[in-house]
Amino acid sequence: MYNLEFENTIMFLNYTIALSDLGTLSNMGVFSLIIINKAGGLIYQREFQAGLRKLSTNDYLVLAGTFHGVHAITRSITPKIPSVQPPSPATSSPSTTTPAASHSYPNPGVPVTGLDYLETDKFRLTCFQTLTGTKFLLFTDPLTGNVDTIVQKIYELYADFVMKNPFYQIEMPVRCEAFDRHLGAWLRGRT
């Protein structure tokens, strides 16, 4: 099993290299988008530029699953520091008895996010995870600014044209023509 994981990672790296070749050709900024559901399944994949090196469908699925796993791992390895305060007696939850309770994250008010972005000198991968667990992976030129705004807009379009499409089944691959259209139009419009 570990072997397979390793292979996946290699493939993932191959993909990123494939993208990085294109960095110089780009003037638009956004290379491609991947959406991963909360179970780690690939539900959407699209390139916004001609000439990107393509992976097979199966490889994309593996990429999505691998990223999902890596993301979860980065979340779980977020360092905790010993807690300054004694465990609060007010919380009645049974979790206070676990050893983790004596440690906390550096900033307890801010939830742990896991991998946010990954950057090479040719491209940048931004991961935005919604509170419902869906992940948007956006591959952009490293010089592209305002990636957060782009991702936010994509999320809105997703909410409008995917989630609100009554015939879209939740957690299933996205085949919504209106989403494709609006997404394409919006990305074209901003360059």
Partner 1 sequence: MSSNKTSRIGEETRVDKVNAELVTLTYGTIVAQLCQDYDSNYQDVNKQLEKMGYNIGMRLIEDFLAKSGVGRCANFRDTADMIAKVGFKIFLNVTPTVTNWTSDNTQFSLIFEENPLADFVELPDDGRAQDELWFSNILCGVLRGALEMVQMQIEAHFVSDVLRGDDTTEMRVSLVRYIEDEMPPEEE
Rounded Cα gap, residues 112 and 108, in angstroms: 9
Give whichever of 25 and 172 is closer to partner 1, judged by the CB atom: 172
Residues 42-71 that bind partner 1 (CB under 8 A): 68-69
> Interacting stretch for partner 1, rule CB under 8 A, among 8-16, 21-29, 126-134, 179-187?
126-134
**Interface residue with partner 1, options 31, 123, 139, 158 (CB under 8 A):** 158
Structure tokens at 184: 């394409």
Give whichever of 119 and 156 is closer to partner 1, judged by the CB atom: 156
**Interface residue with partner 1, options 9, 14, 20, 38 (CB under 8 A):** 38
Give whichever of 102 and 149 is closer to partner 1, judged by the CB atom: 149
Structure tokens at 136: 């948007």
**Interface residue with partner 1, options 111, 145, 146, 188 (CB under 8 A):** 111
**Interface residue with partner 1, options 9, 160, 173, 186 (CB under 8 A):** 160
Give whichever of 28 and 163 is closer to partner 1, judged by the CB atom: 163
CB–CB of 134/35 below 8 Å? yes
We find the least distance from the C-beta atom of residue 7 to partner 1, in angstroms, to be 14
**Interface residue with partner 1, options 40, 41, 142, 173 (CB under 8 A):** 40
Residue 87 engages partner 1 in binding (rule: CB under 8 A): no
**Interface residue with partner 1, options 134, 140, 174, 183 (CB under 8 A):** 134
3-state secondary structure the chain: CHHHHHHHHHHHHHHHHHHHCCHHHCCCCEEEEEEECCCCCEEEEEECCCCCCCCCHHHHHHHHHHHHHHHHHHHHCCCCEECCCCCCCCCCCHHHHCHHHHEECCCCCCCCCCCCEEECCCCEEEEEECCCCCEEEEEECCCCCCHHHHHHHHHHHHHHHHHCCCCCCCCCCCCCHHHHHHHHHHHHHCC
Residues in the chain: 191
Residues that bind partner 1 (CB under 8 A): 1, 38, 40, 68-69, 72-73, 76, 92, 109, 111, 130-134, 152, 155-156, 158-160, 163-164, 170
